[in-house]
Structure 1
Amino acid sequence: MPKALTRDELQAQTRELIVSAAERVFLARGYHATTIAQIADEAGRTHGSIYGNFAGKEDLCLQVLRRHFQHVLEGLSTAVLTAAGETAKMSATQQQWEKLLEEPAWIRLAADFTIATRSDPALEKSNRDTIDGFTAGIRILILAQANTLGVQAVDHELLERAGAALLATGVGLAVGYALGATSHELTVASFLDSVELWFRRMDIQSQPFPDRVDDHQG
């Protein structure tokens, strides 16, 4: 006889079913046009079941986006960290970036959700935690590439700035592409240029320059 699921296992199963249904509806209709009723119909669940597992539409969309882009980041991390050599790592970065651009519906959904909830104090911490998680992942990839380039020591402040800059650049370019403001070729080339520029800057920063004038000196 199959073992009966525990209450926690049943709840986890229900939550997964609802999130999967919400993903389909959000991607098909967009954030603003999606309703809890539509998600409930898609999942084959009642409104009470939805609200018994999630705070509402905003919470559901956050879970959908977090799950998807965590998967994207994991794919990028695996591809870059397992690639051998600078050229291979840059090639892996390009392939993963182009893969992300092939799904503009996800980019538009993330942009719509972020704009719609930017002033919601209840979601502020969750949004911040999500962004911090992605930034931390990007910093790990930067360190991996820096090690490949033979950079012996990366300045912590420079690493923080590189992570923030690449995340912002990637988001901006992706949204621009999803909205039709830039071409695929320009979007890919611009992001790779930014990656290479930051790597080069860290490489230069790590080299000794005895005659360099400190920026903070008069």
Structure 2
Amino acid sequence: MARLTRAESQARTRELLLATARRLFLRDGYHATTMEKVAEAAGFSKGAVYSNFSTKDELCHAVIEAVRAEHVQRIFEAFRGEGSGEERLAAFTAWSERTIGDPGWTLLEAEFAIHAARRDPALRDRVARGGRAWSGALRLLLEEEARRRDLTLPLPAAELADALLGLGIGLGLRRAVDPTLPATALPSLVRLLLDLSDRHERK
């Protein structure tokens, strides 16, 4: 078996550290997870962790960004399917039930956001940019769905996206505490907005 190049070895080490950190952060939260624990669980020295991620904030932010990217991809897959509008909404509803309020991800996002807001402006800005990216993805999906249905949205897509994101965050926090709550509010609101747009177009 061919030996890995230095670059390949470094990339593999980084991937393993990210995977390990993801497991620990989602299980134990931001504050309970230390760089030392990540190093030990991954089977590396603490120096190996710091050579890839200079701070715990950087490592946690990388984990959160990776999780977000996966969820954004799944939402895009749900909304960009080739089925009917009802089938796309059904796929989005299924994603909502599986994802909104997931305790590990939801509580980590909240804990890290509070930490960032209190720590320093630069970290706070990085977290804020992530939120704007989420909102931007929702805006694109709303615009695309309106185009596919030949509708005019009742409000600018950017405003609707911010409102939906806020609802999703609030509902997620509530479901993390009370898993019996349904996640249907978010897809139901999307349906209502599309129905209102449709009725307006028919007048």
TM-score where L is the length of structure 2: 0.88
Q: 2 CA distance for matches of 1:83 and 1:32?
A: 43
Q: Which residue of 1 aligns with 2:190?
A: 195
Q: Deviations over 1:94-147 (max 9, x none)?
A: 011111037321111111111111132231232122122211211122123212
- RMSD, aligned α-carbons: 2.3
Q: Which residue of 2 aligns with 1:75?
A: 74
Q: Which residue of 1 aligns with 2:45?
A: 46
1 or 2 for the larger relative contact order (CA 8 Å, sep ≥6)? 2
Q: Which residue of 1 aligns with 2:123?
A: 123
Q: 2 CA distance for matches of 1:7 and 1:126?
A: 30
Q: Which residue of 2 aligns with 1:216?
A: none
The verdict on how the C-alpha distance between 1:85 and 1:148 changes in structure 2, with shifts beyond 3 A counting, is farther
The verdict on how the C-alpha distance between 1:147 and 1:39 changes in structure 2, with shifts beyond 3 A counting, is same
SS in 2 for 1:197: helix
Structure 1 alignment gaps of length 5 or more: 210-218
1:184 maps onto 2:184 in alignment? no
SS in 1 for 2:33: coil
Structure 2 alignment gaps of length 5 or more: none
Q: Which residue of 2 aligns with 1:172?
A: 170
Contact 2:101 2:174 in 1 (8 A): no
Contact 1:146 1:203 in 2 (8 A): no
Q: Which residue of 2 aligns with 1:24?
A: 23
The verdict on how the C-alpha distance between 1:201 and 1:164 changes in structure 2, with shifts beyond 3 A counting, is farther
Q: 2 CA distance for matches of 1:79 and 1:130?
A: 21
Q: 2 CA distance for matches of 1:49 and 1:154?
A: 51
Q: Which 10-residue stretch deviates more, 162-171 or 116-125?
A: 116-125
Contact 1:142 1:199 in 2 (8 A): no
Q: Which residue of 1 aligns with 2:63?
A: 64
Q: Which residue of 2 aligns with 1:158?
A: 156
The verdict on how the C-alpha distance between 1:190 and 1:94 changes in structure 2, with shifts beyond 3 A counting, is same
1:92 maps onto 2:87 in alignment? no
TM-score where L is the length of structure 1: 0.83
Structure 2: which amino acid aligns with 1:127?
V
- TM superposition shift of 1:24: 1.4
Q: 1 CA distance for matches of 2:101 and 2:124?
A: 29
| Percent of residue pairs bearing the same amino acid type | 29
Q: 2 CA distance for matches of 1:208 and 1:101?
A: 34
Q: 1 CA distance for matches of 2:86 and 2:195?
A: 14
- TM superposition shift of 1:202: 4.3
1:134 maps onto 2:138 in alignment? no
Which structure's CA Rg is the greater one?
1
Contact 2:36 2:46 in 1 (8 A): yes
Contact 1:65 1:110 in 2 (8 A): yes
Q: 1 CA distance for matches of 2:142 and 2:125?
A: 25
Contact 1:85 1:148 in 2 (8 A): no
Contact 1:158 1:202 in 2 (8 A): no
Q: Deviations over 1:157-177 (max 9, x none)?
A: 711101111111111101111
Q: Which residue of 2 aligns with 1:107?
A: 106
Q: 2 CA distance for matches of 1:122 and 1:162?
A: 27
